[in-house]
A = this chain, B = another copy of it.
Amino acid sequence: MARTTITDVAREAGVSATTVSLVLNGRNAERFPEATRRRVHDAAAALGYAPNVLARGLRTQRTHTVGLISDRITTTPYAVAMVEAAQDVAREHGRLLFLVGTDGDPAVEADAVRALLAQQVDGIVYAAMWHRPVAPAAPLPAGTVYLDCFPEAGGGPAVVPDDRAGAVAAIRLLVAAGHRRIAYVDIGEDPAPLASGLRHTGYLDVLREAGVTPDPALHVRSATATAADAADAVDGLLALPADRRPTALFCFNDRIAAGAYASARHHGLVIPEDLSVVGYDDQQLIATELDPPLTTVALPHYAMGRWATEVLLGVTPPPDAADGVLRMPCPLVERGSVSPPRAP
């Protein structure tokens, strides 16, 4: 199992290690006659030579590896697309990806950063599993790109979903369908996730732009993101008399939308005829499986993961926004849960 080294190839080809290195890396390759180049290539192929990238990295100070560090890797199906995108971009550019999860523990995170630096990674993507400000536990090298989060202290290229714009698109869809009484079924977690406020802002903006005075009673909160809690939160709204009951629900996420479906069923309301519903996140297992399939706003995890890694590798320019934060659009995915309200 002794791996073959450049010296073995040199011996086999009857040249020096320098020549092998030069030829194989195509540096000044034209300095060598075709015959020599062939001999080197043939010898390398025959011996199955693959350069030891440790030795190379030691010499060149570039390892062609990148690190992806994140709080929870993948405990939810949520953000795996970000990891996948990072891995895809890395592969496309001949890089290898170190994956490390910190489980939200600052000590672990600090260790992870040290370990990655000791590995001489060419760069680090610092990812969060949900859109929020972060305060890294250990100093990150210059050039670190923030994914689905941004440094509390400001600066640094970063990419997050444009939650406000996503809500705007969702509410505009409902308004265009003719809805006026639109409820926002928010999440009641404390502290409120950043996305909660941003989506609320977008909701309010569109209502005002449509000349609708927002009714605070139509802003309800589900204690958690479980369908059961969400159903409880929605029950109150759907129990209202028909002329005060909302005709459409904008849900903080798809799980809450699933709860809304349950509540609607319980109240004998048919979606979308009696009640239109829009979700957020576009979680495959929920949005496509609900009946009718859920119209929702997709979080652009894959696109964000790609962008972050491409910026890290320098193949995409960093954002020119003053704060260095790119807000990635959240596409509206229209399925079957929105229709015009019933004529009164």
Contact B101 A84 (CB under 8 A): yes
Q: Name the B residues within 8 Å of A288 (CB-CB).
A: 226
Which of B53, B73, B120 is in CB contact (< 8 Å) with A83?
B73
Taking the complex as formed, is A176 at the interface, i.e. its CB lies under 8 A from any CB of chain B?
no
Say if the beta carbon of A333 comes within 8 Å of chain B: no
Docked pose: A50 CA to B116 CA in angstroms:
11
Instruction: Tell me if A25 counts as interface (CB < 8 A to partner B).
Output: no
Say whether A55 faces chain B, with CB atoms less than 8 Å apart: yes
A267 to B85, CA, bound (A): 43
Closest to A254 in B: B285
Complex Cα distance, B53 from A114, in Å, reads 11
| Interface check A175, CB cutoff 8 A | no
Q: Which chain B residue lies CB-closest to A290?
A: B227
A3 to B77, CA, bound (A): 38
Q: Does B54 contact A120, Cβ atoms closer than 8 Å?
A: yes
- Give Cα distance in the complex from A77 to B281, angstroms: 14
Count copies of this chain in the complex.
2
- Docked CA distance A87–B119 (Å): 16
* Interface contact B81-A74, CB-CB below 8 Å: yes
Q: Is the CB of A74 within 8 A of B63?
A: no
Question: Which of chain B's residues has its CB closest to A86's CB?
Answer: B99
Chain A window 305-339, contacts with chain B (Cβ cutoff 8 Å), 1 for yes, 0 for no: 00000000000000000000000000000000000
Cβ–Cβ contact A289 & B227, under 8 A: yes
| CB under 8 Å from chain B, chain A span 237-261 | 255, 258
Q: Nearest chain B CB to A80's CB is how many angstroms away?
A: 4
A188 beta carbon closer than 8 Å to chain B: no
List B contacts of A226 (CB < 8 A). Answer: 288-289
A268 to B220, CA, bound (A): 32
Q: Does A125 contact B (CB under 8 A)?
A: no
Q: Are B285's CB and A52's CB within 8 A?
A: no
A267 CB to nearest chain B CB (Å): 15
Q: Are B101 and A98 in contact (CB under 8 A)?
A: no
Check if A153 is an interface residue, CB within 8 A of chain B: no
Decide if A97 touches B96 in the complex (CB within 8 Å). Answer: no
Asked if A198 lies at the interface with its beta carbon under 8 angstroms from chain B, I say no
User: A173 near B: Cβ within 8 Å?
Assistant: no
Q: Contact partner of A98 among B54, B96, B142, CB < 8 A?
A: B96
Q: Lowest 4 A-B CB distances belong to which pairs?
A: A77-B77, A74-B80, A99-B99, A285-B285
